[in-house]
Amino acid sequence: MNDVLDCSAGEFAPNDLTCDYLVIGSGCGGGTAARVLAEAGKDVILLEEGGDFVGPTRLTQRDTPMYDQLYTDRGGRTSKDRTVNILSGRVLGGGGVINACDVVPIHDATWAYWQKHHGWSEFSAAAMASYLQRALADLSANRIEERQVNRNNQILRQGAQALGWRGELMMHNRVNCQGLGSCLIGCPASAKRNPRMVAIPKALSAGARVYVRARATRIREAMAERKRVEVQTLDGKGYHPVNRFAIDARHVIVAANPVGTVALLRNSGLGNDTLGRHVSLQPQVPIVALMPDPVRAFDGIPQAYALTEFERHDPDVGLTGFRVESIFGTPGVLGSLVGQPGAAGKALMAQLDHVAASLILIPDQPVGQIGVRRDGRPEVDYTLAAEWKTRARQAIKAAAQAYFAAGAKMVVVPAAPPLVLQSTAQLAQIETLTFEPGTISLISAHQQGGARLGASDATSACDLTGQLWGTRDVFVCDGSVFPSTSSSHTMTPIITMAHALIDRLVARSA
């Protein structure tokens, strides 16, 4: 079995690296791609710009070093107008290392929508069923058990049930979870069956070479039989350039998350006019509630229950409506979400053990655009649609109703100024939320699109095999490929799709 090679060590700069398949980005898409290719006997290199973090000595449960090391731009990336905080992983294993472990497959209606409206003729729910099964097996997907449901999740469920609303305990990819609660900054107990724990060890065992602290900066000669990919190595902390080298590869599979993928392709001078367009951020609204009794939401699985009453799956629209899911993070993160400045915020934080919190997931239409600034850095232009804002107000109202039904003393929406509700009599105030830039901070954990697949180069960036139009054997294999939002959570959809695309690639080159 190969070891992970850290390029920051010893000023690593080989001048003769070659492979048949170079995978760029080691997350849900890239990790799966590298594993499937290696197990098929292919000669694979996997590049990852982040570091390798496994176990309690590396995953320390401390906010500052973990955001610094596990998140893209230390968790500080935002949309151009700063309304949406765009979160993604930057570590071996990608977003799977820092995500909330929810396993939510693509709904049959979404496959039907893509078939009917986006020319995804080959991707019916039935045709994709075996790939979904592979994804679920990779994730060891299992239903969260009643004994694992903490008070924070019970409160949301209690409120939903009091109102007669539907909800469910979610599927997740934890095995032997210790309930430490730090999922969003990595699991020191290695309980997550994420790409770092499953796909990457399998890829290494099958002979793949895995390099960390190695950022692909440019793909050259994309129409030639052999491509040349330039790589920047980074220091041990991952923020300073150390050295450069190039890899000679027959196939290049880009899986750097939508923002990273579009930026790399654009910086390489590749892609048609559709590349970078039709981006979905799935902005989420945080909401907190002050409860009369201790909640201790920081103990146990942060996200277990979903209020799904209002989620809609429509073969003519795709995923719409909204859902509400309990969540909690470390005090630092919660401090930024209580939304109350000064003494009021301090008072709320002093009662942190009485605070319940949720994220409201409101699927969007793919209205965003990823571009590249003059310095090569990506820029995400995203304007909230009026229809999304209307649904967001309905969603916030429903979440507040659920908390009051569960006995909340106060519900806070972290807007500027914060919206503080003392009872259901004040719900009408939610209509005052404008969602204008500077008045609210939203969260995106599920970026999708930007390099969508399709049957025509006039309307898509890649063909239905994932090959970027106008290139020879340059493929995309991550969340970028979806024509619209795939599900309320993206890990399972991306792993499913990666299995399907890479299977076809293997069959093609067999």
Ligand X SMILES: Cc1cc2nc3c(=O)[nH]c(=O)nc-3n(C[C@H](O)[C@H](O)[C@H](O)COP(=O)(O)OP(=O)(O)OC[C@H]3O[C@@H](n4cnc5c(N)ncnc54)[C@H](O)[C@@H]3O)c2cc1C
Query: Smaller CB distance to ligand X: residue 30 or 321?
Result: 30
DSSP code per residue over 301-345: -S--EEE-TTEEEETTTEEEE-EEEE----HHHHHHHS---HHHH
CB of 470 to ligand X, least distance (A): 20
Query: Smaller CB distance to ligand SF4: residue 27 or 181?
Result: 181
Q: Which residues bind ligand SF4 (CB under 6 A)?
A: 174, 177-183, 187, 189, 191-192, 301
Q: Which does 180 bind (CB under 5 to 8 A by kind): ligand SF4, ligand X, none?
A: ligand SF4
Tell me the C-alpha distance between 327 and 357, whole Å: 6
Query: Smaller CB distance to ligand SF4: residue 59 or 214?
Result: 59
3-class SS of residue 122: coil
CB of 343 to ligand X, least distance (A): 30
Q: Which does 500 bind (CB under 5 to 8 A by kind): ligand SF4, ligand X, none?
A: none
Tell me the C-alpha distance between 90 and 238, whole Å: 10
Q: Which residues bind ligand X (CB under 6 A)?
A: 24-30, 47-50, 87-91, 94-96, 98-102, 184, 215-216, 255-257, 260, 264, 445-446, 478-479, 489-492, 494
Give the closest residue to 407 by CA, choosing from 364, 445, 343, 354.
354
Residue 253, strand partner residues: 23, 475
Query: Smaller CB distance to ligand X: residue 94 or 454?
Result: 94
Query: Smaller CB distance to ligand X: residue 25 or 339?
Result: 25
CB of 187 to ligand SF4, least distance (A): 3
Q: Which does 479 bind (CB under 5 to 8 A by kind): ligand X, ligand SF4, none?
A: ligand X
Q: How many CB atoms lie within 10 A of CB 145?
A: 12
Query: Smaller CB distance to ligand X: residue 191 or 216?
Result: 216
Query: Smaller CB distance to ligand X: residue 173 or 369?
Result: 173
Tell me the C-alpha distance between 5 and 109, whole Å: 42
H-assigned helices in 163-254: 199-205
Q: Which does 191 bind (CB under 5 to 8 A by kind): ligand SF4, ligand X, none?
A: ligand SF4
Q: Which does 26 bind (CB under 5 to 8 A by kind): ligand SF4, ligand X, none?
A: ligand X
The residues, any chain, with a CB within 8 Å of residue 339's CB and separated by 6 or more, are 286, 288, 345, 412, 413, 414, 415, 416, 418
Tell me the C-alpha distance between 461 and 275, whole Å: 5
Closest-CB residue for ligand X? 27
Q: Which does 275 bind (CB under 5 to 8 A by kind): ligand SF4, ligand X, none?
A: none
CB of 323 to ligand X, least distance (A): 12
Query: Smaller CB distance to ligand X: residue 282 or 401?
Result: 282
Give the closest residue to 309 by CA, choosing from 491, 480, 159.
159
| Contact between residue 231 and residue 244 where contact means Cβ atoms under 8 Å apart | yes
Residue 51 has φ and ψ, to the nearest 5°, of -100, -175
CB of 244 to ligand X, least distance (A): 13
Query: Smaller CB distance to ligand SF4: residue 301 or 413?
Result: 301
Q: How many CB atoms lie within 10 A of CB 439?
A: 13
Give the closest residue to 261 by CA, choosing from 247, 245, 276.
276
8 phi-psi bin (left φ>0, alpha ψ -120 to 50, beta other): alpha
CB of 360 to ligand X, least distance (A): 14
CB of 179 to ligand SF4, least distance (A): 5
Q: Which does 132 bind (CB under 5 to 8 A by kind): ligand X, ligand SF4, none?
A: none
CB of 255 to ligand X, least distance (A): 5
